[in-house]
Chains A and B, each alone.
Chain A
Amino acid sequence: MSVATKYARIFSLGISEMLAWRFGYFVMALGSAINLLVLFIFWTAVYQDGNQIGSYSLEQLLIYYAFSITLQILMDYSFVWGVSEALHQGNLSQYLIRPISYINFLFVKEFGVRVATIASFAVPLAGVVIYFHDRLPNSLLAWILFAATTVFGFIVVSLFGILFAMTTVWFQNPHIAGSLFFTTSFLLSGRLVPIDLMPAWLASIARWSPFPFVTGMPLEFVLGNRAGFSIQELLIGLVWFVVLLFSAQRAWKWAVIKYEAGGA
């Protein structure tokens, strides 16, 4: 079996896994739509009462949060629990004897899961795109940059996820480090509020972290508030990528050694 075929099968495995529980899948799609609807109602009410949030128009905020939910679905970290549980329960052994990298296996399978999940939000998202089509960027470059930043964000999230999942070996609890990471990411990524609305000190911390690549930066392309990247932003992204890749690989190796010692 070629490498491409192998990973294509793992990718489809991720999709199948997601669709196995159809009721849950349907409810998840419904929940995302309800979440979006409530946000729309809330922000419409805020602007109807004569309020304005920063320099954002109502349409911009609605687009921001609609796409933010999309990215939230795509960048979901729940696979960390699966890895942590595998480490905690001792289910990792089966992966150690297979002729495939566990990290690569996870990454590709998770990508399949995310693609299937994003499809559940396709209808509400299509509604938003059709309704606000004249407010969205016309340039192909903006969408390419949006997609590229999103993919990079996904890589960042996955590397962080793997790194934190490995801490299970030391903390003896699969949920501790992951929870702390989720909440920090939520705060600094711009998922909560656009980064330029944050207090200066918090925005400054966010800009030096890799988290804006996960939500804030891609959405700035969608809103037309960004044309490209500064050298500083590219450098920050590159440094974080190298550090995370190195750390995730080291943590994996250490975790395997520790895991084996624990099982002896």
Chain B
Amino acid sequence: MKQAAHKILHMWRVFVAIFRMSIMMHLTTPLGGVMKFASVFVDMLIYVVFAKIIFSYIPAVGGFSNDQLYMIVGTSMLIEWISWFTFRAGTAQTPDKIQSGKIESVFIRPLPAPFLAFFTRMDIEDVTRAVTGLMLIVPHAAAIASPTALHVALYAIALLGSSAIYYALLASISPLAFFFGKLDGLWAVVNDINNMGRYPFTIFTRKVRWIFFTILPTAFLGSVPTLILTTNDHWQWLALTFAVAGIGIWISVLIWNWAASHYSGASG
């Protein structure tokens, strides 16, 4: 127990060190930093414009009200922010590291290899996603009914659970580079999957919905946290979120261990 706590503390220190380095990297090229923020801002503007245009014609779809639709988009932005702030850049860079052999350094250090492989960089500019997401969520949540403190607290916890699910998905895909090398096409699919999180899961048939709750758990990247914030079924949705997150992370570790055991050098 003490050893596990020590390891978690060690991981946290590494995480904080990466955070500091990421800030310093941004400060080395201030103009570049400003442009990065501008880029993410325009990216977010795109989704706000899309939501404003399309949802102005849609009072409800698949049982989700207009306000809830906005909140799904906002929620997916918050999860995107958490992912870019933690594991997203690392999971995207891992295939290149595997191809070039740079991945080998993670196998010889006294911390879990997936952590060292995936938590390598924090994109500070993506905080813009969080700000935009909150600007969408807050007024629309207030319009439905002022959420209680419990709703908000459970929603925040659900965001962490949903991010863990997203991590599990990417951390399960990334090690496939041990076998297939380049995963460019697959990352395009991952982006598409993430975009699916911006649609209410109820628009899909029951069989398709099952896929979006298990194999490609996009329902947790927008709709489910929104339901936790806006309905009173929050406990069951929260329990489901963490159950899927736990299973997902367990599977991702198994995939990493299995794939890494087949690694025999950058040319192998």
Contact = CB atoms under 8 A, between A and B. Distances in A.
Interface in B1-57: 29, 31-32, 35-36, 38-39, 42-43, 45-46, 49-50, 52-54, 57
B185 interface: yes
Interface string A163-188: 00000000111001101101110110
B62 A49 contact: yes
B142 interface: no
Given A45-B203, A53-B54, A179-B39, A172 B185 contact: no
Contacts of B185: 21, 23-29, 31
Contact of B49 (A30, A46, A51, A202): A202
Interface stretch (B73-81, B186-194, B240-248, B249-257): B186-194
A193 interface: yes
Contact of B62 (A27, A45, A52, A202): A45
Contacts of A173: 29, 32
Given A24-B180, A171-B31, A192 B49 contact: yes
Contacts of B154: none
A183 B39 contact: yes
A89 to B, nearest CB: 12
Contacts of B85: none
B43 A183 contact: yes
Interface in A29-75: 29-32, 34-35, 38, 41-42, 45-46, 49, 51-54
A28 B42 contact: no
B240 to A, nearest CB: 22
Nearest to B202: A45
B106 interface: no
B259 interface: no
A262 interface: no
A197 interface: yes
B10 to A, nearest CB: 31
Would you call the interface of chain A mostly helix, strand, loop, or mixed? helix
B87 interface: no
A6 to B, nearest CB: 27
B181 A49 contact: no
Given A24-B180, A27-B189, A193 B53 contact: yes
B241 to A, nearest CB: 22
A25 B46 CA distance: 28
A198 B49 contact: yes
Query: Could you say which interface size class chain B belongs to?
Result: 35 or more
B39 to A, nearest CB: 4
B61 interface: yes
Contacts of B29: 171-173
A199 interface: yes
A34 B53 contact: no
Contacts of A42: 199, 203
B192 A21 contact: no
A179 B125 CA distance: 12
Given A25-B185, A30-B189, A49 B61 contact: yes
B160 interface: no
Interface in B161-212: 180-186, 188-189, 192, 195-196, 199, 203-204, 208
A31 B58 CA distance: 27
B180 A45 contact: no
B189 to A, nearest CB: 3
B32 A46 contact: no
A31 to B, nearest CB: 3
Contacts of B54: 53, 193
Contact of A198 (B39, B42, B53, B208): B53
B189 A31 contact: yes
B139 interface: no
Contacts of B32: 171-173, 176
Contacts of A31: 185-186, 188-189, 192
Given A176-B39, A193-B50, A24 B184 contact: yes
Contacts of A197: 53
B143 to A, nearest CB: 19
B59 interface: yes
Given A21-B180, A42-B199, A180-B42, 20 more contacts: A21-B182, A21-B185, A24-B180, A24-B183, A26-B185, A27-B189, A38-B195, A41-B204, A45-B203, A46-B58, A49-B62, A51-B61, A53-B58, A172-B32, A179-B36, A182-B39, A183-B46, A193-B53, A198-B53, A199-B52
24 contacts: A23-B180, A28-B188, A28-B189, A30-B189, A31-B185, A31-B192, A32-B188, A42-B199, A42-B203, A53-B57, A171-B32, A171-B35, A173-B32, A176-B32, A176-B35, A179-B35, A180-B39, A192-B49, A193-B49, A193-B53, A193-B54, A198-B49, A198-B53, A199-B49
Counting from the closest, the 8 A-B pairs by CB-CB distance are A28-B185, A31-B189, A45-B203, A24-B185, A27-B185, A179-B39, A180-B39, A183-B42
